[in-house]
Structure 1
Amino acid sequence: MKSLLATCGLLAAVTLAAPVMAETPRTAAPAGAAVYFIEPANGATISGPVNVRFGLKGMGVAPAGVDVADTGHHHLLVDVTELPGLDAPLPATDNIRHFGKGQTETQITLPPGQHSLQLLLGDKNHIPHQPPVLSEKITITVK
């Protein structure tokens, strides 16, 4: 009986919390905002670690947690075939890399072969803007 009550209580808590999570507001992106790769170039063949430099137009960069209008921070999508949900905080995984300190460049190690890279800006809460500030997907080859 205790197990059944605990299960019902957990189910009720999850059910009640779900609408709150779904209602997280998205931050508006300014018209014309764009994120892009400075480096590497689309189609590049690279040896060793990959230097990645992020470009941003029409917005500023601010660390996660900092609430400043028209800013966000970078997320690097590596070999992502399907975009994550854009109405919730982006998960931190090997394929979705967070740069919440406001970094605008990084060096990553990838296994040899072809890889896709894409940038997605997140707001102070790691939630993509509305509309999303998303780069074109580029392809690189690592030797």
Structure 2
Amino acid sequence: MNRIKMTLLSALLIAPISAFAQDMSSAAPDNAEVYFIEPADGATVEGTFRVAFGLRNMGVAPAGVERDKTGHHHLLINTDVPSDMSKPLPATDQVKHFGGGQTETEVTLPPGKHTLQLLLGNYAHVPHSPAVASKKITITVK
């Protein structure tokens, strides 16, 4: 009898946690689009250069602010979008977070070819469904 009570109690405690973990995604309109204002695909840039983000059919809101049809930018440098889009994006040298709602930044990269891609995240840094990702661009740093 105690074993049954413990199993039921465990299930009751875990269920809300599981529900919360699965409830972090946000819907995006099918026509939402994130894109680079600059640099252009194929551009040659200095070691430190400006990156400006564009967004259509959605709004920008800081991380932690939950509003429909909004999100904040993440800049992916020399990496692909994550395979699991249900989890918050990590903050790494290759995944730059702009949780303050910024729409531009300066980036410094070493000489050579690099790829850049934008991915919109919701209030919890989780990509929207469907994902709002830019085309991946390639730049050359002098």
Instruction: Classify the TM-score, shorter chain.
Output: 0.7 to 0.9
Match of 1:121 in 2: 120
Match of 1:10 in 2: none
Count of paired positions: 129
Q: 1:64 is aligned with what amino acid? A: A
1:8-37 Cα distance to aligned partner (Å, 9 max, x none): xxxxxxx99995675244100012000000
Match of 2:31 in 1: 32
Match of 1:55 in 2: 54
Q: Does the 8 Å CA contact 1:22/1:87 hold for their aligned counterparts?
A: no
Match of 2:134 in 1: 135
CA–CA distance in 1 between the matches of 2:47 and 2:24? Answer: 41
Could you say if the C-alpha distance between residues 54 and 82 of structure 1 is closer, same or farther in structure 2, counting changes exceeding 3 Å?
closer
SS at structure 2 position matched to 1:65: coil
5+ residue gaps, structure 1:
1-14
Match of 2:65 in 1: 66
Could you say if the C-alpha distance between residues 122 and 81 of structure 1 is closer, same or farther in structure 2, counting changes exceeding 3 Å?
closer
CA–CA distance in 1 between the matches of 2:15 and 2:68? Answer: 31
Q: Per-residue deviation at 1:81?
A: 3.8
Runs of at least 4 residues of structure 1 off by over 4 A? 15-22
Match of 2:82 in 1: 83
What percent of counterpart residues are identical? 57
Q: Per-residue deviation at 1:136?
A: 0.4
Q: 1:135 is aligned with what amino acid? A: S
Q: Per-residue deviation at 1:48?
A: 2.7
Q: 5 Å matches for 1:101-116?
A: 101-116=100-115
Query: How much is the aligned-residue C-alpha RMSD, in angstroms?
Result: 2.0
Could you say if the C-alpha distance between residues 129 and 40 of structure 1 is closer, same or farther in structure 2, counting changes exceeding 3 Å?
same
Q: 2:129 is aligned with what amino acid? A: Q
5+ residue gaps, structure 2:
1-13
Q: TM-score by structure 1 length?
A: 0.83
1:65-109 Cα distance to aligned partner (Å, 9 max, x none): 011111000000000045352101000000000000000000010
Q: 1:122 is aligned with what amino acid? A: G
Q: 5 Å matches for 1:5-44?
A: 19=18, 23-44=22-43
Give yes or no for the alignment of 1:100 onto 2:131. no
Which shifted more, 129-138 or 73-82?
73-82
Q: Per-residue deviation at 1:50?
A: 1.7
